[in-house]
Amino acid sequence: MTDPTAVLVLEDGRTFTGLAFGAQGSTVGEIVFNTGMTGYQETLTDPSYHRQIVVMTAPHIGNTGVNEEDPESTRIWVAGYVVRDPAIRPSSWRSTRTLADGLADEGVVGISDIDTRALTRHLRERGVMRGGIFSGPALLDSSGRRRAEQDLLDEVTSAPAMSGADLAGEVTIAEPYTVEPVRGPASGAEPVATVVALDLGIKSMTPQRLAERGVRTHVLPATATTEQVLALEPDGVFFSNGPGDPAAAVHEIELLRDVLDRRIPFFGICYGNQLLGRALGFGTYKLTYGHRGVNQPVLDRRTRKVEITAHNHGFAVDAPIEGESTAPHEDGRYGRVVVSHVALNDQVVEGLECLDRPAFSVQYHPEAAAGPHDAGYLFDRFVELMAASTTTEENP
């Protein structure tokens, strides 16, 4: 019988010993924690978690199993998975298999039965870092003995860091596809607008939310050119969530500047928010431990309403919080900008709005997969922005 032991090794040398969960073997990546109490299947299949080991702070995970309806992409993207108390059996009529089987089927190495509270506190104090999970044969050396902790640590520290990583090309689609409107009594209705969405790690619910508002969405790979975008005659352009360091996304930032130059309405979320910030000339920086979960409070400064929102980001935009500022790129070429949304826990920039260009973005996930629906109005705001832009063109 295979030894069920699994070991989690952090970059700073701290270790946790538990039980193998999902596939056995080894995996390394940046280790982060997610504070959501639900939506674990959407988390697992979110491409933004590419090359990250996810720690769930909620203690009991897996009670609804895995189904074929909730995934946000075609596969599980997390590099590894850490839980405290996995469910013995699923208790949902929608479940088709257990979470453990779902992880094992896709080769995702996990660990359970460790103190995730202590681990989360450690990451909050020290910051996110590289980590590795080792179980089964990966815990043994060539002679069959348990590998030394230093050997495991060396494997962890040899893994690439997230800073400087350009990862959108590793998660984007190979071929474009189109999502048609579904508003009204039947699908296939005439679209109210046409949007080109750049897939930087897009979740399937995002074009669905646009379709519910009567929008036709053409989803293009992250490598799409300006010419390919313009060929579809979009009323608006959308940049999705995704993994990696926004400072490394040179191609995407140049494409976004082409969009801004042509005054095509733009909406970005998460990674797309960071790329708008950089296109405008602001910097970005790595957060100590990031925002990940479905319970993050954000203030919409336009309405003064507080939203509970879904987050998954480790980088943020460095822009002036108070008042209007001039976008630094090329001596203010893009005009005035305001920070439209702010995180109430730590005052991190959670949204940008251009006052002289038809463009805005938020740092969180308004598609609510998984998560609350407080921010759904942002898709309506995008539709309104496109409609206003069309009216302006017709009546200059």
* Annotation: binding site for L-glutamine: 48, 242, 244, 274, 312, 314-315
Nearest Cα to Cα of residue 199 among 224, 216, 228, 182:
224
Catalytic-residue membership of 354: no
State the Cα–Cα distance between residues 36 and 371, nearest whole angstrom. Answer: 8
Tokens 């003064």 correspond to what residue? 304
State the Cα–Cα distance between residues 25 and 31, nearest whole angstrom. Answer: 17
What residues contact residue 26 under an 8 Å CB cut-off, 6+ apart? Answer: 109, 132, 133, 134, 135, 138, 155
Residue 349 backbone phi and psi in degrees, to 5:
-60, 125
State the Cα–Cα distance between residues 6 and 152, nearest whole angstrom. Answer: 12
Marked catalytic residue, from 72, 307, 350, 367: 367
State the Cα–Cα distance between residues 87 and 103, nearest whole angstrom. Answer: 14
State the Cα–Cα distance between residues 137 and 201, nearest whole angstrom. Answer: 32
Bond into 370 cis (ω within 30): yes
State the Cα–Cα distance between residues 247 and 252, nearest whole angstrom. Answer: 10
Nearest Cα to Cα of residue 52 among 203, 200, 240, 245:
245
Marked catalytic residue, from 270, 307, 311, 313: 270
Catalytic-residue membership of 270: yes
Nearest Cα to Cα of residue 37 among 287, 308, 314, 313:
308
3-state helix, strand, coil in the chain (%, to 5): 25, 35, 40
69 within 8 A of 96, measured Cβ to Cβ: no
Catalytic-residue membership of 365: yes
CA distances (Å), origin 282, targets 270, 308, 319, 334: 15, 26, 6, 12
For residue 54, the Cα-to-chain-centroid distance in whole angstroms is: 12
* Known binding residues: 48, 242, 244, 274, 312, 314-315
**Which sign does the torsion angle of CA 277, 353, 363, 240 carry?**
negative
The 8-class DSSP code of residue 97 comes to B
State the Cα–Cα distance between residues 48 and 30, nearest whole angstrom. Answer: 12
Residue numbers annotated as active site: 270, 365, 367
